[in-house]
């Protein structure tokens, strides 16, 4: 069985030991039944830490025993993801985090049903960041994907996106995913429930995204995310 895992970003390193934040401390003690001396694993920006717990005066600390670099997947994948309705979108974020996606660039597409701005967008961004943190913790991955706030496809910052670019398209001209040539970094775009609009399909091609097919069936957008991210993570 795997060790209980902690994300250390919210913990405080003091005098050579980590003070575990209240929420994770509660989970370790009450749910995972850990105690002084229990071995746990810490995850922190690309590193895994082997830790031993110390419970003192109602607080939970962790002593660092060793650290190792987390290799991560061999392909650094940037997922360009259209905003989807809540349940499909949350699922898509979990798939992306569990399969080790490097960055997620959100797109507010013409046919995206949800439209967020202002305080509501900020709330959503912090909720999505939490989902990514939780999913990487459960998957034992050292770093969560970076997430970029939604833009229109026309405003997508191409300086942040690798040059090897693909877009999942329901088109007879799309090449099968299994046939594409792989580079160390790649970008993969997935459209909204209502699909890409004709002007977005044109824009994708102008921005250097090659059309790729995920098979003969029309997949839900979140299934398309699972198939594409899973495929890149296994290569």
Residues that bind ligand SAM (CB under 6 A): 168-170, 190-191, 193-196, 213-215, 217-221, 224
> In the complex, what is the shortest distance from the CB of residue 93 to ligand SAM, in angstroms, rounded to a whole number?
16
> Residue-wise over 1-31: b if at least 16 C-beta within 10 A, else e?
eeebbbbbeebeeeeebbebbeebbeebbee
> In the complex, what is the shortest distance from the CB of residue 165 to ligand SAM, in angstroms, rounded to a whole number?
13
Which of residues 53 and 225 has its CB atom nearest to ligand SAM in the complex? 225
Which of residues 147 and 212 has its CB atom nearest to ligand SAM in the complex? 212
Which of residues 41 and 110 has its CB atom nearest to ligand SAM in the complex? 110
CB distance 51 to 63 below 8 Å = yes
> In the complex, what is the shortest distance from the CB of residue 81 to ligand SAM, in angstroms, rounded to a whole number?
10
Which of residues 110 and 193 has its CB atom nearest to ligand SAM in the complex? 193
Query: 100 burial class (0-12, 13-18, 19+ CB within 10 angstroms)?
Result: buried
Which of residues 30 and 217 has its CB atom nearest to ligand SAM in the complex? 217
> In the complex, what is the shortest distance from the CB of residue 101 to ligand SAM, in angstroms, rounded to a whole number?
16
CB distance 224 to 189 below 8 Å = no
Distances in Å between the Cα of 177 and the Cα atoms of 2, 19, 192 are 33, 46, 19
Dihedral pair phi/psi, residue 227, rounded to 5°: -65, -50
> In the complex, what is the shortest distance from the CB of residue 185 to ligand SAM, in angstroms, rounded to a whole number?
20
For CA atoms 82, 225, 41, 60, the dihedral sign is: positive
CB distance 143 to 167 below 8 Å = no
> In the complex, what is the shortest distance from the CB of residue 192 to ligand SAM, in angstroms, rounded to a whole number?
6
Helix (H, G, I), strand (E, B) or coil at 221: helix
User: Which residue lies nearest ligand SAM, judged by its C-beta?
Assistant: 191
Which of residues 33 and 216 has its CB atom nearest to ligand SAM in the complex? 216
Torsion angle of C-alpha atoms 6, 150, 104, 10, degrees rounded to 10: -20
């Amino acid at each position: 069985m795997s060790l209980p895992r902690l994300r250390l970003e919210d913990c405080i390193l003091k005098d050579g030991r980590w003070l575990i934040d209240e929420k994770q401390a509660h989970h370790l003690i009450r749910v995972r039944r850990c105690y002084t001396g229990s071995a746990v694993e810490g995850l922190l920006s690309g590193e895994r830490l082997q830790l031993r717990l110390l419970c003192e005066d109602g607080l939970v600390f962790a002593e660092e025993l060793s650290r190792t670099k987390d290799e991560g997947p061999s392909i650094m994948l940037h997922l360009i993801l259209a905003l989807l309705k809540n349940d499909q979108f949350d699922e898509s974020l979990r798939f992306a985090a569990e399969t080790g996606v490097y960055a997620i660039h959100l797109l507010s597409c013409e046919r995206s049903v949800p439209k967020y701005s202002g305080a509501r967008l900020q709330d959503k961004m912090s909720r999505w960041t939490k989902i990514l943190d939780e999913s990487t913790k459960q998957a034992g991955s050292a770093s969560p994907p970076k997430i970029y706030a939604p833009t229109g496809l026309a405003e997508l910052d191409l300086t942040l996106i690798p040059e090897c670019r693909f877009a999942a398209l329901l088109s007879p001209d799309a090449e099968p995913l299994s046939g594409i040539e792989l580079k160390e970094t790649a970008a993969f775009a997935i459209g909204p429930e209502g699909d890409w609009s004709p002007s977005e399909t044109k824009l994708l091609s102008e921005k250097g995204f090659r059309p790729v097919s995920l098979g003969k069936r029309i997949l839900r957008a979140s299934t398309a995310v699972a198939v594409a991210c899973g495929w890149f993570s296994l290569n």
